[in-house]
Amino acid sequence: MQNVAGSKRRPLMIGVSLIVAATLAIALTAFTALSSAHAAPSYVRSGDGTQKNVTVWLTWYGYNDNSGETENQHGSADIAYPKSDGYPTLHNHATEGKGTYTDPVTFAAPNKDLKTTFPIGSIIYVPLVKKYFIMEDQCGDDDPEGCQHGTNHVDLWMGPASASNATKLDDCEGNATPDTTVKVVINPSSSLSVDTTTMFKNNTCTIKLYN
């Protein structure tokens, strides 16, 4: 009789084991997905891949003065290297992220710097504003002070992906542009000090500058 009773309990034990195994599998899947969601992005490396300071000319741009398909067309959040086109970037349009390592702001660089200092999808850290930026756009400004005439030029995005008051945005960009070259960090570590203050929002210039 005991053998018969034991054989009746075995299917129940197997069923419980399967439920436990399934529960563990679901928990492991959820943990893996959560870990992936919080994992730091893998950015393209610049130069030899080491963290170093680079001297640059630094300017700013926003929706109002961003060119679209041609340099004569302005008023756009389009970027030259959107993620949707297969580039190793994060955004599909110019974005003012928080400026953290995992939520960097868009920046543009001239073509001549792509294969050296600022390859597509690389990030920099800008001590001037204590924010990280990701290279997602092409800087084609050809005026006498434009990025096509300098070496290691970064054009940093500020503001929303929509039109702002032209005077206020232009003033904010101009006041945040240094008169001389500054240092930025290529291949920065993820632990540098960050100020997540919004730079330009609701037609208000709130950018913080650090010497």
> Six-digit token pair at 155?
């054009």
Q: Indicate the number of domains in the chain.
A: 2
pLDDT of 74:
72
Please tell me whether residues 20 and 66 are part of one structural domain: no
Residues 33 and 56 in one domain: no
Based on the domain organization, do 33 and 137 belong to the same domain? no
* Confidence at residue 140, expressed as pLDDT on a 0 to 100 scale: 77
Of 140, 141, 177, 185, residue with least CA distance to 158: 177
Residues 179 and 96 in one domain: yes
List C-alpha distances in Å: 190 to 39, 69, 150, 162: 12, 34, 28, 30
- Same domain membership, residue 143 and residue 177: yes
- The pLDDT score that the predictor gives to residue 160 is 96
Per residue in 154-181, pLDDT tens?
999 999 999 999 999 999 999 999 999 9
- Which residue range(s) make up the domain with 1? 1-39
* Residues lower than pLDDT 70 in the chain: 1-39, 68-73, 141-146, 148-150
- Encode pLDDT of 103-132 as tens digits: 999 999 998 888 889 999 999 999 999 999
Are 35 and 67 in a shared domain? no
In DSSP notation, 26-78 reads HHHHHHHHHHHHHSPP-PBPPTTS--EEEEEEEEEE-TTT-B-SSTT-BS---
- The DSSP secondary-structure symbol of 122 reads B
Q: pTM score > 0.75 for this model?
A: yes
pLDDT given for residue 21 in this prediction: 46
User: What pLDDT was estimated at residue 15?
Assistant: 52
Specify the pairing of strand 105-109 against strand 182-186. Answer: unpaired
